[in-house]
């Protein structure tokens, strides 16, 4: 079952030039979400991947094809990959997006004719993104790939109105690199989260927000409403693609101190709320119980199974119950 993407969809530059700016001219979130979503089903692919040593590049190319991306769609595109690089502990492979998956993604896009692939992170806990880049193993993994790394924490800001206003923030400051790329790809780790319930492709975008303006940790976003900011940022930025590293995920006290869980999947899709809702189901979490997903739904984005064009593995075959901690309020009622 293939879904066909609408490749007439705006490029990032067009989106920034007309979408974000133009959003102010639209009368409210309902109209905007109609404009974004068109009522079509959101394609999401679940790919089986038991470990990081298998040829992930080929698998990713298959996934892209399943989603409707072919060489013509990728050719000439300038692509920013945003992995989840949080903290460094090489004995804890469940913390960061695995370097092998990032490298494979670089290779997959290059093989399809991307003009450039950049990897960027604005680490939220560590002031030193280069330290995390190096000690996570990503520097080593990207050596010779031609992909350069950029620290998003110190980029000049692109300031846009926060039209969704789930949070108290009137504007959002994105790093200027978003004006220089055509696609942003969110590449999170599949994890539970002690404040947000789960952290997936939407929450991963906190790392897009420069620490220079939001602090370390991105405390401004916490004070303005964590789940609300997740929704605002993801629905405003609208990356073109999400690739979730669920080969080894994290359960329990995520996003840092939880335990590894072998979920054995990569999840990909073009609508981030739909991707994250699918991941939630794979983790045995009810997406409607995750506040930021519920907000995305309210905004008109699909998180319902009936609105998702599921390809690859079925949820039933790939489902792996992630351990939740009942004493952590954000994880308490996620299964209901």
Partner 1 sequence: MSRENVSARLRQRILERANAALSDPGRELRPDAAAWVLIALHREPGEGDLLSRINAGLMKAQLEDGRVPVNPRFPNAPWPTPLAVLAWIGREDSKAALDRAVQYLLTWRGRHWINREPETVGHDTSIPGWPWVSGTHSWIEPTGLCMLALRGAGRGNDERCALAARMILNRQLPSGGWNYGNTTVFQTQLRPMPHSTGVALAALAGSPGIARQEVAKSIDYLTETVGTIRAPLSLGWSLTGLAAWDAEPPAAPDWIAESLEREKELPEYDLSLLSVLYCAAQPKSENPLLSLNS
Q: Which residues bind partner 1 (CB under 8 A)?
A: 87, 89, 125-128, 130-131, 133-135, 139, 143, 148-151, 154, 156-157, 159, 173, 194, 211-217, 219-220, 222-223, 253, 256-257, 325, 327-328
- Longest CA–CA separation in the chain, Å: 50
CB-based contact 157:114 (threshold 8 Å): no
Alpha carbon of residue 132 to chain centroid: 19
Shortest reach from residue 133's CB to partner 1, in Å = 8
Please state at what angle helix 272-282 crosses helix 291-298, rounded to 10 degrees: 140
Closest alpha carbon to 265 in 280, 254, 255: 280
Instruction: Pick between residue 5 and residue 150 the one whose CB is nearest to partner 1.
Output: 150
Closest to partner 1 by CB, 6 vs 156, is: 156
* Beta carbon nearer to partner 1, 315 or 325: 325
Residue closer to partner 1 (CB basis): 133 or 301: 133
Minimum gap (Å) between residue 150 Cβ and partner 1? 6
SS (H, E, C) 103-129: HHHHHHHHHCCCCEEEEEECCCCCCCH
User: Which lies closer to partner 1 via its Cβ, residue 222 or residue 289?
Assistant: 222
The minimum distance between CB 194 and partner 1, in angstroms, equals 6
Cβ 160 to partner 1 shortest distance, Å: 12
Class of residue 116 by CB neighbours under 10 A (exposed 0-12, middle 13-18, buried 19+): middle
Q: What secondary structure does DSSP assign to 144-197, as a single string?
A: TS--EEEEGGGPPEEEEE-SS-SSS-SEEEEEGGGGT-SEEEEE-EEEEETTTE
**Min separation Cβ 76 and partner 1, Å:** 24
Q: How far is the CB of 94 from partner 1 (least distance, A)?
A: 13
Measuring CA to CA, how many Å separate 29 from each of 32, 43, 162, 164, 296?
Answer: 5, 22, 11, 6, 11
Nearer residue to partner 1 within complex by CB, 59 or 178: 178
């Amino acid at each position: 079952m293939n879904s066909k993407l609408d490749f007439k969809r705006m490029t990032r530059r067009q989106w920034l030039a007309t979408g974000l700016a133009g959003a102010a001219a639209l009368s409210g979130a309902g109209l905007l979400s109609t404009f974004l979503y068109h009522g079509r089903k959101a394609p999401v692919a679940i790919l089986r991947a038991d470990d990081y040593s298998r040829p992930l590049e080929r698998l990713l190319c298959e996934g892209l094809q399943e989603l409707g991306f072919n060489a013509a769609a990728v050719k000439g595109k300038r692509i920013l990959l945003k992995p989840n690089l949080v903290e460094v502990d090489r004995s804890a492979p469940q913390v960061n997006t695995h370097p092998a998956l990032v490298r494979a993604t670089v290779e997959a896009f290059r093989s399809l004719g991307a003009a450039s692939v950049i990897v960027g992170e604005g680490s939220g806990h560590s002031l030193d993104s280069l330290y995390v880049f190096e000690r996570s193993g990503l520097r080593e993994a990207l050596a010779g790939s031609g992909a350069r790394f950029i620290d998003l924490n110190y980029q000049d800001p692109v300031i846009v109105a926060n039209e969704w206003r789930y949070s108290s923030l009137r504007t959002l400051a994105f790093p200027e690199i978003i004006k220089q790329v055509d696609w942003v790809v969110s590449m999170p780790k599949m994890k539970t989260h002690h404040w947000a319930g789960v952290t997936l492709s939407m929450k991963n975008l906190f790392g897009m927000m420069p620490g220079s303006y939001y602090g370390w940790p991105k405390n401004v976003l916490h004070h303005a409403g964590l789940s609300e900011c997740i929704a605002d940022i993801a629905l405003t930025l609208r990356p073109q693609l999400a690739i979730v590293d669920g080969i080894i995920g994290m359960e329990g006290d995520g996003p840092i101190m939880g335990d590894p869980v072998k979920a054995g999947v990569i999840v990909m899709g073009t609508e981030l709320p739909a991707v994250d809702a699918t991941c939630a189901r794979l983790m045995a979490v009810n997406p409607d119980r995750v506040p930021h997903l519920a907000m995305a739904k309210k905004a008109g984005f699909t998180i319902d199974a009936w609105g998702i064009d599921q390809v690859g593995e079925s949820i039933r075959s790939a489902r792996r119950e992630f351990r939740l901690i009942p004493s952590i309020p954000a994880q308490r009622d996620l299964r209901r």
